[in-house]
Structure 1
Amino acid sequence: MLRFPPWKLTLVTLIAVLGFIYTAPNFFSKESLSGLPGWVPQSQLVLGLDLQGGSYLLLEVETDVLYKERLETLRTDVRNTLRQIDDPRVRFRVRQTSEGVTVALNDPADRERSIAALEELASFVDTNLFGGLPEKDIVINPEGEDAITVAFSEAARTSMAQSAVSQSIEIVRRRIDELGTTEPTIQRQGENRIVLEVPGLDDPQRLKELLGQTAKLSFHLVDRSMTAAQAQATRVPAGSQILPLANTDPPQGVLIERRAMLSGENLVDAKASFDQQTNEPIVTFRLDTSGANRFGDVTTKNVGSPFAIVLDDVVLSAPVIREPILGGSGQISGGFSVKEANDLAILLRAGALPAPLTILEERTVGPGLGADSVAAGEIAAIIGFTAVVLYMGLAYGLFGWFANVALITNVMLIGAVLSVLGATLTLPGIAGVVLTIGMAVDANVLIFERIREEVKAGKIPLVAIENGYNRALGTILDANITTFIAAAILFQLGAGPVRGFAVTLGIGILTSVFTAFTLTRMFVALWYKSRRPSALTV
C-alpha cells in the first residue's frame, strides 16, 4: 500500500538535504568559502575549457625517435653479446640501419654460433588482448653466408608505441599538475596522439615549453683527451660526443663521454633554490639509494675531473669534482632565471618523456568566450526549467507541483554529485543538464497519466495512486536504463565535449529516477495521509 516507513522517510529526506548542502558552495566565491570551517563542504563545480577559457593541444608522440633509440641500445647489446663468444672469438662488424642492426662476419663459419648467442637477447612481449601466445621482441634472420640482421618484431614495435603513449600521458599529467591548474583533461587519440585540455591556464606558451622538452637528465664525465674545438677540427674520439653548452654566446661545445655515469631515473626530488654564495637561481636534486651510491663511487674515483650535467642533449653545466659527492644530493647551475629554475625543477620531478612530443594543433579559448558560453547555457537552462515547471503545474495541478519540487531537487543533486566527484562541467554538459530537466518529468507524466486512467476506471484514490506508481515503474526503468547505456557508451568511446555530455546525462538519469519516482511518491503519500481525499483530481 501507499506507505512510507519512518526510516525510508528519513533516508529520502537526508539525501535531498545533502544535495542542497553540497550544491550550495557553487553559489559562493572561493574567497568566501576559504573563511569557513574545514568541515563545511567547499567542493565546487569544475568548469571546462569551453566555459572558463584555457588551452587545447593535440600532441603526437614521436615513436620513430623512440624506435631509433631502442635500435641504438640493441646495437650495443648485439656487439657486447658477440664479444663474449670465446674459443674461438668471433670477428665481426656491426652497422645500424633504419630497420635494424646488421652484423657482417669475417668468417661465415661463425654464423650459427652467432645466431645462437643472439637468440639469448630475445624476450617475449604480449600484445594480444584475447589470450594468444606471446611473441618474441626481436627477429634474427641470416643474410647470405656471412651476415645476420637483428630487428624488432612488429609486436615489439606496437608494444613500444603503446607503452610510450601511456607513459607520456602520465608524465604530461604530472607536469600539468605541477602548474597548479585544475582538472586537466588528458586523453589518448588514435595510436600515438594525445589530446590535452587545460582549463584556466593563462600562459599557454609556458605549457608548450614544458611539454616541448623530453627532460632526459644524465651525468657524463668530460673527455679531457682534447678540447671540443680540437675534436671538431680533427675527429671526435670513439665513445665520445660534442654537445652544446647552455647559455653561451657565442655557442660553445663540450666533449663528453657517451656513456652516462648516472641517469635521471635515479632522481627522487628536485627543487628550485638559490646558491648561498652567488645568490643565483639553481636546482637542487636528491637521488635514491642506488643512485647516491653510484654517484658517490664515480665522484670518488674522479676527484679533480669535470663532469657534465646534460638535459636533452644540452650541457647545463660542467663543474669540476672538488671532492666526493656523497649522500645523494647535489645542485645544478647554468645561468638560470627564477622561472627557468622553477620549470627545470618541474620537469625533473615529473620525469622524462619516453619520446619527444610534437604539437599538431593548438587552440586557445579566452575567458570572455567562456563567460558568454556560461551565460547562454544559463539562459537555456532557465527557459527550459521555467517551461517545464509551468506545464507540469497547469497540466497536473497539485501533483504537478510535487513533480516541480522534485525537479528542483534533481537539479541540486546533479550539481552536488558533480561537485563532490570533481567532474568537469563543459558546455555540452550544460546541454546534458537541460536535456535531463526535460527527461526528469517524463517519469512523472507516465505516473500521473496512469493514475488518471485508474481514476477514470472507477478506482478509489488510494488504489489509483498505488497502481499508477507500481505499473509505471517498469516502463520508467526500461526507458532510463536504455538511455543510461547510451550515455555509458558515449563516455567510453567519446572524447572531450562528448564525454562531458555523457557525464551529466548519466548522473541526471540516476538522480531523475530517484526524484521522479521515490521523492514524488513520498510527497503524495504524506499528502494523502494528511487529507484522506474521497475523490482524486490529477
Structure 2
Amino acid sequence: MLDIPLWKRLLIVAACLLGLASAMPNLFYTRVEGHNDAVKAIEVSGSNPVLDAARGAWPEWLPSGLVNLGLDLRGGAHLLAEVQVEDVYADRLDGMWPDVRDALREVRNSVGTIRLQDGAPDELRVRISRPEGMADALAAVRELARPVVSLTGVGSNDIEVTGDGPDVVVRLSEAEQQATDDRTIQQSLEIIRRRVDEVGTREPTIQRQGEDRILIQVPGLGSAAELKALIGTTARLTFNPVVGRTSNPDQAPGARNIILPSLDEEGVFYIIEQTPVVTGEDLTDAQPGFDQNGQPVVTFRFNPSGARKFGDYTVENVGSPFAIVLDDEVVSAPVIREAIRGGSGQISGNFTVDESNRLAILLRAGALPAELTFLEERTIGPELGADSIEAGKIACIVAGIAVLVFMVLSYGLFGVIANIALIINVGLIFGILSAIGATLTLPGIAGIVLTIGMAVDANVLVFERIREELKTAKGPARAIDLGYERALSAIIDANITTLITAAILFMLGSGPVRGFAVTLGVGIMTSVFTAIFVTRLLIVWWMERRRPKSIEV
C-alpha cells in the first residue's frame, strides 16, 4: 500500500539534492560573491593576480548562484523620478518642420510665402502670406498625417491641423500624445537600465510608477547623489553646423539657429544651426581614452548611416567649424581640416578620467528622450541592511525552533520526520530563489518566516487524519496510506488559495510587496512538495526498515 516506485524515489531524492546544492552557495555568501564578481571582471578586462585569487576562492564545478539582496538588506540608493514627457512633444513637432515646409511649397501658388512663427511648445505654427489659400494649405499639411501606432489609438491620426488667422497650426493628437508618453517612459526605462547595468550593480529595481514616474533602486551603490549623477543627465549628443561666435547670449541668432554656451570657454557662446547633422542615436560605441597629449577624451564610432551623413557633411564643409553639443552646451567646436570618412572621432575637453568614463557610459547607453525631475531620493547605509539581515536571521531561527519543538511534542517520531522535511523545505526555497535570480528583501524574509509556520500545516492535516484512520484501519500501513490519500484534497485546496493570493500580490504589487509574494509563492510550492512526497518517502523508509506492528502518532 505504501510502495513507492524506484523511479519516483530517485526523482524525489534528486530534486532535494539539486535544490540543496543550489542553496549551498548562500552559506558562503561573501566568498561566492567575490568569485562571481571576479569572473565577470575577467571576461571584461582580462585576468590579473587579484582577480585570479578571488575566482579561485570557490570551485568552478560547484553551483555559484546566489540569492540577491535587495536595497533594504544590502543598502544602496533609492530615487523616484518624474519624466517630463512634454519635452518630447516640442522635439517631435520641430522635427516635422521640414516636411510641413515641403508640403506647403507644393501649393505655393495658393498660399504665397511661408514663414515659421514662434508658438507654444506643443504646437508648430507656420504663417502663410495669402490667407485665402488656407484650405489648400490645410489639405496639403493634413496629407502628412499618419495612423497612431498603439492599441488605444486605433483609427486616429498622429497630428491635428487647424487654421488660426493666417497661421497653419500643427499639434499632436490626444491619441498620439498618449502613445508618445508610453514610448517615452518605456525608452527612459530601457536607457536607465542600460546605464545602471554599465556600472555592474546587482539586481536593480527599475520600474514604472503611475503615468509618468520611474522608481529606481540600486543595491550596493554608495549614495543617491552618485546614482543621480549617473542617470540624471540627459546625455543628448548632437553635431551641429556652426554659424558664428559671440559674447552676447541675448543676440538674435536668426531663423532656425540657436545660441549655446561653450563648456570650456567662459563667456563664449556659439550660434549654431538648430537642426543637427548627426545625433547620438547614430553612435554604436563610445569609450574613454587619452589623446596624444595624455589628456582624457572620449572616442566614438558611428553606425553606417551616421558615418555616411557625417562623412558627406565634412566633404562639403572642409575649413568650416562644427559644434559637438552635449546637453545644450558646446563641448568643442573644431574646424574640419579634411573629410572624415572613417565614421569615428573623439570628444575632447577639460575632462577628468572619471568624467570621461561617465560620459562614455552615458553615450553608450543612449540619450534620455526627456528630462528627469527627481521627486524623492534616499541613501540606505549598509549598516542598516546588516541589521535587517541579522534581525531576519533571528526571526527565522526563533520561528524554526518553535515549530520544531511543537511538532516533536505533538507527534513524536512523526514530528521528527516533519522537522527533517521542514529543514529540506527551507533549503529548497533558497535553492529556487538562487536558481531564478530572485531578490530577497525584508518583506521577503517575512514571507520565509510565514512559510516556516505554514510548512507543517500539511503534515498536521496528514498526521491528524492518520490518527483517525488508526482507530478503524486494519494496520499502520493502511492508516498511513489512507491518511495521505484523504488529506490530499484539503492540502491542495488550502495551498492553491494562498498561491492565488501570492500571484495577485505579485501582479498588482511593486517593490517589497513583490518580494513578499515571490518568497511566499515559492514557499507554498516547496511546502506541498515536501509534505506530500518527502515526508511520505521518509515514513516509507522507516516502515520498511522497522516494520512496526503498531504506530503512535
Quickly name the TM-score band, shorter chain normalised: over 0.9
Aligned twin of 1:140: 161
Aligned-pair distance for 1:71?
A: 3.0
Q: Which AA in structure 2 matches 1:388?
A: V
1:228 to 246, 249, 265: 246
1:238 pairs with 2:255: yes
Residues 71-470 of structure 1: matches in 2 within 5 Å? 71-88=93-110, 90-95=112-117, 96-128=119-151, 133-143=154-164, 146-224=166-244, 227-229=245-247, 232=249, 235-248=252-265, 250-275=266-291, 277-470=292-485
Cα distance in 2, alignment partners of residues 232 and 205 from structure 1: 31
Residues 440-519 of structure 1: matches in 2 within 5 Å? 440-519=455-534
Q: Normalising by the residue count of structure 2, what TM-score does the alignment of the two structures yield?
A: 0.92
Residues 123 and 451 (structure 1 numbering): CA distance in 2 closer, same or farther, change over 3 Å? same
The Cα offsets for residues 60-111 of structure 1, whole Å up to 9 and x where unpaired, read as 0001222222232344543332123255554344433244234444334312
Q: Which AA in structure 1 matches 2:418?
A: A
In structure 2, the residue corresponding to 1:81 is in which secondary structure?
helix
The Cα offsets for residues 169-203 of structure 1, whole Å up to 9 and x where unpaired, read as 11000000111111100111000000111001014
Aligned-pair distance for 1:303?
A: 1.6
Aligned-pair distance for 1:239?
A: 2.7
Aligned twin of 2:539: 524
Aligned-pair distance for 1:52?
A: 1.1
Cα distance in 1, alignment partners of residues 505 and 109 from structure 2: 64
In structure 1, the residue corresponding to 2:143 is in which secondary structure?
helix
Aligned twin of 1:58: 80
Aligned-pair distance for 1:265?
A: 1.0
Q: Which AA in structure 2 matches 1:238?
A: A
Percent identity between matched residues is: 52
Q: Is the 8 A contact 1:127 1:134 kept in 2?
A: no
Query: Please, what is the CA RMSD of the aligned residues?
Result: 1.8
Q: Which AA in structure 2 matches 1:158?
A: Q
Cα distance in 2, alignment partners of residues 274 and 147 from structure 1: 52
Which stretch shows the higher mean deviation, 459-468 or 384-393? 459-468
Cα distance in 1, alignment partners of residues 155 and 438 from structure 2: 39
Which stretch shows the higher mean deviation, 195-204 or 265-274? 195-204
Cα distance in 2, alignment partners of residues 140 and 308 from structure 1: 34
Cα distance in 2, alignment partners of residues 2 and 322 from structure 1: 88
Q: Is the 8 A contact 1:138 1:151 kept in 2?
A: yes
Q: Normalising by the residue count of structure 1, what TM-score does the alignment of the two structures yield?
A: 0.95
Cα distance in 1, alignment partners of residues 249 and 387 from structure 2: 59
Gaps in structure 2 of 5+ consecutive residues: 36-54
Aligned twin of 2:552: 537
Cα distance in 1, alignment partners of residues 30 and 226 from structure 2: 26
Aligned-pair distance for 1:340?
A: 0.4
Gaps in structure 1 of 5+ consecutive residues: none
Aligned-pair distance for 1:453?
A: 0.7
Q: Which AA in structure 2 matches 1:252?
A: V
Cα distance in 2, alignment partners of residues 88 and 442 from structure 1: 84
In structure 2, the residue corresponding to 1:352 is in which secondary structure?
coil
Aligned-pair distance for 1:529?
A: 1.8
Q: Which AA in structure 2 matches 1:433?
A: I
Which stretch shows the higher mean deviation, 430-439 or 460-469? 460-469
Residues 458 and 487 (structure 1 numbering): CA distance in 2 closer, same or farther, change over 3 Å? same
How many residues get paired? 530
Q: Is the 8 A contact 1:126 1:135 kept in 2?
A: no
Cα distance in 2, alignment partners of residues 88 and 400 from structure 1: 94
In structure 2, the residue corresponding to 1:141 is in which secondary structure?
strand
Residues 183 and 6 (structure 1 numbering): CA distance in 2 closer, same or farther, change over 3 Å? same
Cα distance in 1, alignment partners of residues 528 and 249 from structure 2: 75
Cα distance in 2, alignment partners of residues 186 and 376 from structure 1: 27
Cα distance in 1, alignment partners of residues 249 and 411 from structure 2: 90
Q: Is the 8 A contact 1:245 1:314 kept in 2?
A: yes
Aligned-pair distance for 1:534?
A: 1.7
The Cα offsets for residues 124-182 of structure 1, whole Å up to 9 and x where unpaired, read as 115446xx8431111223446x5543221111111111111111011000000111111
Aligned-pair distance for 1:436?
A: 0.5
In structure 1, the residue corresponding to 2:270 is in which secondary structure?
strand
Q: Is the 8 A contact 2:73 2:384 kept in 1?
A: yes
Aligned-pair distance for 1:30?
A: 3.9
Q: Is the 8 A contact 1:138 1:156 kept in 2?
A: yes
In structure 2, the residue corresponding to 1:136 is in which secondary structure?
coil
Aligned-pair distance for 1:537?
A: 1.0
Q: Is the 8 A contact 2:110 2:130 kept in 1?
A: no
Q: Is the 8 A contact 2:68 2:440 kept in 1?
A: yes
In structure 2, the residue corresponding to 1:222 is in which secondary structure?
strand
Which stretch shows the higher mean deviation, 231-240 or 195-204? 231-240
2:67 to 28, 45, 49: 45
Cα distance in 2, alignment partners of residues 257 and 93 from structure 1: 17
Residues 232 and 128 (structure 1 numbering): CA distance in 2 closer, same or farther, change over 3 Å? closer
Cα distance in 1, alignment partners of residues 367 and 399 from structure 2: 49
Q: Which AA in structure 2 matches 1:111?
A: M
Cα distance in 1, alignment partners of residues 403 and 196 from structure 2: 42
Cα distance in 1, alignment partners of residues 96 and 338 from structure 2: 36
Q: Which AA in structure 2 matches 1:73?
A: G
Q: Which AA in structure 2 matches 1:14?
A: A
In structure 1, the residue corresponding to 2:406 is in which secondary structure?
helix
In structure 2, the residue corresponding to 1:191 is in which secondary structure?
coil
Q: Is the 8 A contact 1:82 1:90 kept in 2?
A: no
Cα distance in 2, alignment partners of residues 254 and 102 from structure 1: 26
Cα distance in 1, alignment partners of residues 9 and 309 from structure 2: 67
Cα distance in 2, alignment partners of residues 117 and 401 from structure 1: 84
